[in-house]
Structure 1
Amino acid sequence: MGALHAFRMQLKLGAVAEYKARHDAIWPELAELLTASGVSDYSIFLDEETLSLFAVLRRAENHTLDDLPSHPVMRKWWTYMAPLMEVEPGDQPREWPLQLMFHQA
């Protein structure tokens, strides 16, 4: 089991249904890239009142998530998702780290 990693992202008004539809049809090459990078047990939750997304995933000890921003598949996905959410220059989703306050395994 890897370490938990959690962060928040922000959807734009009116983007909930499309965001969900795109993730329901996640590209197989993106899913494979995430797994190969050491990601497992990845979930994204929505706060419907604020449109905040809360993501939680497990990172393997030897994860390579820091390499993802330069990977073509990841960049293509970010460009595809950029109209739906707040992004940084280069279309990377804005992320706010979340501090673990409690966990029971």
Structure 2
Amino acid sequence: MIRVCFQLQVAPDRIDEYRRRHAAVWPEMLREIEASGRRNYSLFLREDGLLIGYYETESVERSDAYLASSEVAARWEAEMSEFFVGDGRPDRTAVPLDEVFHLEDQLSEIAPLQEGNGA
């Protein structure tokens, strides 16, 4: 499973409305996200509008291609674009973040070492 984290900037004067819109995402958009192969999808929003998104998928390319061809996703992203600083569809302008630490990965690396030492 590939873990994906990204950042966007919500316009400070649009934060309250952005929160309202995401409290009840269109059911058809929820189904499209799920059909794209994204799992464990979350958005986190700071008071100044910094938005961090996270999801897991088997293939970023397949997930992106599925949503890029989705009429529902195109309508949703067009409506959401007014909330963000910058130009373009937010799903295509998000800044990906590099993962520098994952607990389970590191634990799995040390477990065989501990077992070999009789621990």
Sort the Cα spacing of 1:83 and 1:57 in 2 relative to 1 into closer, same or farther, 3 A: same
1:12 aligns with 2:49: no
Match of residue 72 from structure 1: 71
1:53 aligns with 2:51: yes
Instruction: Provide structure 1 residue ranges, at least 5 long, that are not aligned to the other structure.
Output: none
Give the secondary structure class of the aligned counterpart of 1:45: strand
Sort the Cα spacing of 1:4 and 1:52 in 2 relative to 1 into closer, same or farther, 3 A: same
Match of residue 109 from structure 2: none
TM-score between both structures, scaled by the size of structure 1: 0.85
Instruction: Provide structure 2 residue ranges, at least 5 long, that are not aligned to the other structure.
Output: 105-119
Q: CA deviation at 1:60?
A: 2.2
Residues 38 and 63 in structure 1, CA contact (< 8 A), matched pair in contact too: no
Q: CA deviation at 1:19?
A: 0.7
TM-score between both structures, scaled by the size of structure 2: 0.76
Give the secondary structure class of the aligned counterpart of 1:64: helix
Q: Between Structure 1 and Structure 2, which shows a larger proportion of strand residues?
A: 1
Residues 1-105 of structure 1 mapped to structure 2, 5 A cutoff: 2-49=1-48, 51-61=49-59, 64-67=62-65, 68-89=67-88, 92-93=89-90, 94-105=93-104
**Between Structure 1 and Structure 2, how many residues are aligned?**
101
Q: CA deviation at 1:61?
A: 4.1
Sort the Cα spacing of 1:69 and 1:63 in 2 relative to 1 into closer, same or farther, 3 A: closer
Q: CA deviation at 1:87?
A: 4.9
Q: Between Structure 1 and Structure 2, which shows a larger proportion of helix residues?
A: 2
Give the secondary structure class of the aligned counterpart of 1:26: coil
Q: CA deviation at 1:65?
A: 1.8
Report sequence identity in percent. Answer: 30
| Alpha-carbon distance in 1 for matches of 2:96, 2:72 | 23
Q: CA deviation at 1:70?
A: 2.9
